[in-house]
């Protein structure tokens, strides 16, 4: 037998004759450790074990047998039990997971809910998603950057910004790093940022939050926005492969068989999408965005064709922000949808200074507001493009949940400001 020390929380205590079985949640493990305490070996320790409160933080020394009886995983025969902290109230939810908790309860007590293997698996996969993104984008030669989250102008130029008082001046929480990552194309071949977005939209849906996280990338010297779609396509496939190889235990805990999206992703022009939806009885005007029902129907049609992931291209320019390159009434832009849920948007940017100023004016915005941004376009700005990928939404589709709040530790929506 090998002597080991384990530290963790008491998940369950069961007495069976002269033996006490204690389940311990240790570290980031998804499976509990079964601690065995026998009266015949240590009568005093059995008394201690029987009195331990559910949820207590403990340090246990013991011997790990070569032959394991427990079907749940590791087993330790205790020689010493030290209680480090006892709960002063009953746990807010069942740490064994046998009694299901409501989502609101899980969110309220997420710090405790992470003792559940399912909850822990979700956020280990989230960490893996970030790992995979960093590895891929760095290997592609993009530099990781960190742009301001307190800004003098909103990236979209719209009304859905959180305004703050910045020492007597108007400022806003960042909607995205869009303007800054474009400015950096003046000197760098590519950048990426894993970053929060803040949107003051008064939504109350299962797919929207007021603070969310995204993976933003921008690359310079592109030939067309096809270069950007190819980068995003390869990133998605890399993430799926990375999780399947390195996070198999977590996926198994969630009963997920992760299918790698078919490559290349289908490209569908916006005008064709309108026609497809019209044949299904959904009539959208030119320039209208797809609502959730239209996205769902299109997702089902794409699935029948064998595509889980697909790009909607050539959006009307009037429906896109000023920095997107214009092509007559259309734009060099795209959205990436997966099974009927929009995950990302991007495209080629307008890199010509005078055209960009025209775009800003056409959107009824004041170029002076964006003077700090426009300055970077005076010094040889190359053709460039990029995307913003919703990290939270991507995790939703990977683990197959319908509510974005399930994949965010402490979600911020119209109702939640704490914890």
Rounded Cα distance, 240 and 394, in Å = 10
Which backbone phi and psi does 120 adopt, to 5 degrees? -65, -40
DSSP, collapsed to helix, strand or coil, labels residue 226 as helix
Rounded Cα distance, 373 and 369, in Å = 9
User: How many C-beta atoms lie closer than 10 Å to residue 15's C-beta?
Assistant: 13
Q: What is the pLDDT of residue 57?
A: 96
Q: Which CATH superfamily is domain 2-90 in?
A: Nucleic acid-binding proteins (2.40.50.140)
Which backbone phi and psi does 147 adopt, to 5 degrees? -100, 165
For residue 267, pLDDT over 60 is answered with yes
Q: What is the pLDDT of residue 28?
A: 83
Q: Are 54 and 87 in contact (CB under 8 A)?
A: yes
Give the closest residue to 129 by CA, choosing from 27, 230, 242, 30.
Answer: 242
| Beta-bridge partners for 334 | 313, 346
Q: Are 14 and 20 in contact (CB under 8 A)?
A: yes
Record the pTM.
0.94
Rounded Cα distance, 71 and 54, in Å = 21
Fold of 112-407: BirA Bifunctional Protein; domain 2 (3.30.930)
Q: Which residues are catalytic?
A: 199, 201, 207-208, 342, 345, 393
Dihedral angle sign, alpha carbons of residues 398, 404, 407, 412: positive
Q: What is the pLDDT of residue 72?
A: 67
pLDDT digits (tens, 9 = 90+) for 51-105: 999 999 999 999 988 776 656 668 999 999 999 999 999 999 998 888 999 999 9
Least confident of 14-23, 261-270, 377-386: 14-23
pLDDT digits (tens, 9 = 90+) for 148-175: 999 987 666 566 899 999 999 999 999 9
Q: What is the pLDDT of residue 71?
A: 65
Rounded Cα distance, 263 and 303, in Å = 14
For residue 36, pLDDT over 90 is answered with yes
Least confident of 38-47, 247-256, 330-339: 38-47
Do 2-90 and 112-407 show the same overall fold?
no
Domain spans, the chain: 2-90, 112-407
392 sits in which H/E element: helix 391-399
Q: What is the pLDDT of residue 13?
A: 93
Give the closest residue to 288 by CA, choosing from 273, 268, 298, 307.
Answer: 273
Dihedral angle sign, alpha carbons of residues 389, 391, 397, 401: negative
- Residues with Cβ within 8 Å of residue 28, at least 6 apart in sequence: 120, 124
Q: What is the pLDDT of residue 254?
A: 96
For residue 241, pLDDT over 80 is answered with yes
Q: Which residue has the higher pLDDT, 213 or 29?
A: 213
Percent of the chain with pLDDT over 70: 97
Percent of the chain with pLDDT over 90: 88
pLDDT digits (tens, 9 = 90+) for 322-352: 999 999 999 999 999 999 999 999 999 999 9
pLDDT digits (tens, 9 = 90+) for 286-305: 999 999 999 999 999 999 99
């Amino acid at each position: 037998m090998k002597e080991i020390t384990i530290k963790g929380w008491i998940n369950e205590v069961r007495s069976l004759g002269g033996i006490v079985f204690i389940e311990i949640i240790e570290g980031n493990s998804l499976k509990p450790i079964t601690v065995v305490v026998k009266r015949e070996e240590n009568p005093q320790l059995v008394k201690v074990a029987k009195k331990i409160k559910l949820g207590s933080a403990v340090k246990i020394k013991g011997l790990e047998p070569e032959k394991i009886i427990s079907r749940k995983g590791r087993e330790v025969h205790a020689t010493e039990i030290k209680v480090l902290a006892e709960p002063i109230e009953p746990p807010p939810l069942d740490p064994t997971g046998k009694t299901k908790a409501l989502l609101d309860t899980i969110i309220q007590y997420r710090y405790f809910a992470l003792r559940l293997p399912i909850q822990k698996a979700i956020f280990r996969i989230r960490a893996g998603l970030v790992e995979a993104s960093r590895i891929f984008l760095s290997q592609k030669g993009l530099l990781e950057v960190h742009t301001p989250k307190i800004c003098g102008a909103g990236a979209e130029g719209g009304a859905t910004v959180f305004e703050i008082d910045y020492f007597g001046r108007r400022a806003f929480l960042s909607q995205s790093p869009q303007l800054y990552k474009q400015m950096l194309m003046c000197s760098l071949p590519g950048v990426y940022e894993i970053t929060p977005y803040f949107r003051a939209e008064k939504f109350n849906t299962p797919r929207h939050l007021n603070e969310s996280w995204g993976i933003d990338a921008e690359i310079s010297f592109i030939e067309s926005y096809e270069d950007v779609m190819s980068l995003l396509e390869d990133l998605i496939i890399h993430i799926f492969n990375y999780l399947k190889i390195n996070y198999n235990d977590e996926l198994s805990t969630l009963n997920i068989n992760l299918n790698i999206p078919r490559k290349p992703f289908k490209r569908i022009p916006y005008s064709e999408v309108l026609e497809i939806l019209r044949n299904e009885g959904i009539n959208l005007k030119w320039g209208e965005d797809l609502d959730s029902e239209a996205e769902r129907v299109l997702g089902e049609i794409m699935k029948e064709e064998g595509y889980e992931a697909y790009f909607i291209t050539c959006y009307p320019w009037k429906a896109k922000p000023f920095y997107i390159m214009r092509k007559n009434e259309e734009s060099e832009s795209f959205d990436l949808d997966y099974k009927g849920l929009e995950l990302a948007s991007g495209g080629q940017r307008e890199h010509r200074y005078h055209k960009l100023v025209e775009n800003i004016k056409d959107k009824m915005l004041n170029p002076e507001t964006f003077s700090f941004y426009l300055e970077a376009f005076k010094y040889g700005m190359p053709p460039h493009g990029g995307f913003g990928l919703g990290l939270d939404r991507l995790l939703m589709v990977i683990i197959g949940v319908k509510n974005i709040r399930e994949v965010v530790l402490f979600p911020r929506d119209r109702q939640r400001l704490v914890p």
